[in-house]
């Protein structure tokens, strides 16, 4: 006779309901992310820059420099504070799902055991609302979090910032006061989480250069130089940044 694991009926039923709810939120997220192009265009989104970045490549710093030069709002880690204030949630709870690897067990049973936990799908739905609100208000720079896949593509300029492992590890070690080995581990964990986040929700390869308008090696041009290259390339391509760049010159 084969061994069988007995599960209390009430527990099994509750787990089944949670799994059904998880599947439903997946469907909702898919509909949100794969809207019809005509519908997306009708949302009256203003121009924006979506900046993807490798861990330690200086994405936040380049975005801040770009925002200062153009006079545009930068939405990066501050997004978590906005979400926390709007939805009355703690920042640590949001950090657990912010560009992190997706775990169905975490999203199903974590939210069941702890009401404070938010699923990746619910986080993404709320993040999308924040993105649309910011984009409708005016020119904005979005750092990471798949912004270019959430917002109408023809209104924005998508940038990918990269650098060598050596350069990125050195920056992470300095900024986080870590040893080289610990910085390498952090770099790998951040890159993996961002890669899986984009793959799961947007079905895109974050390392594919074809999903960006330009890929810039920050190690080659530096932080300030990278921001300048973005402005120059946008101006040459008659992009949404052209007016802002003109004001800067």
Per-residue pLDDT of 180-232, as tens digits, reads 999 999 999 999 999 988 998 889 999 999 999 999 999 999 999 999 999 98
pLDDT digits (tens, 9 = 90+) for 10-53: 444 444 444 444 444 445 445 544 544 444 444 455 588 999 99
Among 155, 154, 161, 144, CA closest to 202: 144
- pTM score of the predicted model: 0.71
pLDDT digits (tens, 9 = 90+) for 75-117: 888 777 777 777 777 777 667 666 665 544 344 434 433 445 6
Does the 13-248 domain belong in CATH 3.40.50.2300? Answer: no
Query: How far is Cα 83 from Cα 98, in angstroms, rounded to an integer?
Result: 11
Per the listing, tokens 């899986």 go with: 196
Split at pLDDT 50, 70, 90, the class of 2 is very low
pLDDT of 241 above 60:
no
Residue boundaries of the structural domains of the chain: 13-248
Among 47, 67, 69, 54, CA closest to 216: 54
pLDDT digits (tens, 9 = 90+) for 135-161: 887 789 999 988 888 888 888 899 999
């Amino acid at each position: 006779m084969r061994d069988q694991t007995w599960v209390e009926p009430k527990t099994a039923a509750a787990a089944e309901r949670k799994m059904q709810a998880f599947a439903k939120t997946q469907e909702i997220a898919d509909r949100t992310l794969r809207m019809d192009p005509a519908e997306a265009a009708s949302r009256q989104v203003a121009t924006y820059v979506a900046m993807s970045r490798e861990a330690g490549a200086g994405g936040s710093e380049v975005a801040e420099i770009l925002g200062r030069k153009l006079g545009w709002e930068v939405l990066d880690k501050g997004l978590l504070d906005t979400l926390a204030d709007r939805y009355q949630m703690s920042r640590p709870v949001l950090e657990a799902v912010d560009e992190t690897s997706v775990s169905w067990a975490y999203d199903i049973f974590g939210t069941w055991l702890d009401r404070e936990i938010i699923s990746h799908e619910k986080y993404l739905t709320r993040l999308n609302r924040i993105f649309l609100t910011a984009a409708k208000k005016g020119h904005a720079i979005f750092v990471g979090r798949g912004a270019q896949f959430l917002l109408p593509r023809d209104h924005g300029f998508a940038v990918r910032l990269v650098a060598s492992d050596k350069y990125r590890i050195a920056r992470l070690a300095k900024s986080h006061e870590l040893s080289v080995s610990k910085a390498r581990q952090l770099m790998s964990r951040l890159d993996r989480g961002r890669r899986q986040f984009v793959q799961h929700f947007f079905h895109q390869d974050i390392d594919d250069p074809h999903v960006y308008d330009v890929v810039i090696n920050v190690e080659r041009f530096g932080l300030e130089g990278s921001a300048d290259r973005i402005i120059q390339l946008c101006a040459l391509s008659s992009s949404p940044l052209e007016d802002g760049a003109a004001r800067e010159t």
